[in-house]
Amino acid sequence: MNSPFVTCRNLVKNYETPTGSLEVLKGVNLEIQSGDFVAIIGPSGAGKTTLLNMITGVDKSTGGEVVVGDRRVTDTPQPQLVKWRAQTIGIVFQFFQLLPTISVADNIVFPMDYANVHKPAQRRDYALSLLARLGIEDQAVKRPDMLSGGQQQRVAIARALANEPPLIIGDEPTANLDRMSTENVFNIFRDAAARGAAVIITTYDREIVANVPRVYELKHGVLHEVKSDRRALA
Partner 1 sequence: MNRSTFRKIWGDLWTRKSRTILVSVSIFIGVLGVVTLITAGDLLVRQLKADVKESELPMLAANVVVPPSEGDVTLDDATYLDALTEAFPDITAIEGSSNNPFYWKLPDEGRFREARLFAYTDAMSDKPVEPMRLVEGDYPQPGQHQLVVEQRMADDFDLSVGDAIDVRMLGEDEFPTETWTISGIVFHAYNQLSDQSMYALYDEAPAATGVSGLSTISARFDDFAQAEANKDAFQTFVNDNTPYSALIVQATDPADNAAIQSSEDFALILSVLAIVSMLVSGFLVLNVINNLVTEQRRQIGVMKSLGTTRGEMFVIYGGIAVSYGLIGVIPGVLLGIPLGYEMAVLIGDFANTLIDTFAVSTTAIALGIVLGLAVPVISAVIPVYIGTRVSILDAMTDLGIGGGYNVGLLNRTIKALPVPLNIKQSLNNLTQKKARLALTVITLTLALSAFMGVSAVFVQINSVLQDILDTFGYQIIFQTTQSQEFEPIQTLLMDNIDGIAEVYPGSGGIVQLEGYISESNQSSQMLVQGIVPETAMTDSTLVEGTAWENDPEREGIVLTNEITNSIGKGVGDTVTLIANGQRLEQEIIGVVNYPIPMGIMPWEDLSRLTGFTLGAPTPNQYFTGVQIDDYSGTLPGGAITAWGVDSQAAGFVTMLDGSPITPGQPGVMLTQAAADAGGYAVGDTITVRAGDCMATGDPDAADPAVCTATVPITGIFMPPSQMASSQIPQDMMAIYWEDLATMEGLNLNGEPVPNAFFVLTQAADPTAREVDGLIENVNDLLVDNGITASYTNMVEIADQASDAILSIGIVLNMASFIMAAVGAIGLITTLSIAVFERQKEIGVMRSVGAKSPTIIMQFLVEGLLVGIIAWIIAAPVSVGLAWGITEILPFGEFIQFDYPPVMLPVGFVGILIIATISSVWPSVSAARKTVSDILRYQ
- Positions that interact with partner 1 (CB under 8 A): 15-17, 22, 53, 56, 58-59, 78-79, 82-83, 85-87, 91, 93, 95-103, 106, 109-111, 113-115, 120, 123, 143-145, 152, 159, 163
CB of 16 vs partner 1, minimal distance in Å: 8
Which residues contact residue 188 at a Cβ distance below 8 angstroms, ignoring those fewer than 6 apart?
133, 134, 154, 157, 161
Smallest distance from partner 1 to CB 98, Å: 7
Q: Residue 160 Cβ, how far from partner 1 at the closest point, in Å?
A: 9
Q: Cβ closer to partner 1: 59 or 138?
A: 59
CB nearer partner 1, residue 61 or residue 211: 61
Q: Kindly state the smallest distance separating residue 228's Cβ from partner 1, in Å.
A: 30
CB nearer partner 1, residue 152 or residue 174: 152
Q: What would you measure as the largest C-alpha separation in the chain, in angstroms?
A: 54
The nearer residue to partner 1, 30 or 86, going by C-beta atoms, is 86
Residue placing its CB nearer to partner 1 in the complex, 96 or 186 = 96
| Residues recorded for the chain | 234
Between CA 171 and CA 180 the distance in angstroms is 19
Q: What is the DSSP letter of 68?
A: E
**Shortest distance (Å) from residue 85 CB to partner 1:** 7
Rg (CA), the chain: 17
- The nearest distance, CB 151 to partner 1, in angstroms, is 12
d(CA 156, CA 223): 27
Angle at 22 between CA 18 and CA 24, to 5 degrees: 145
Which residues, 6 or more positions from 187, have their beta carbon under 8 angstroms from its beta carbon? none
Handedness of CA 223, 214, 86, 111 (dihedral sign): negative
Q: Which lies closer to partner 1 via its Cβ, residue 103 or residue 211?
A: 103
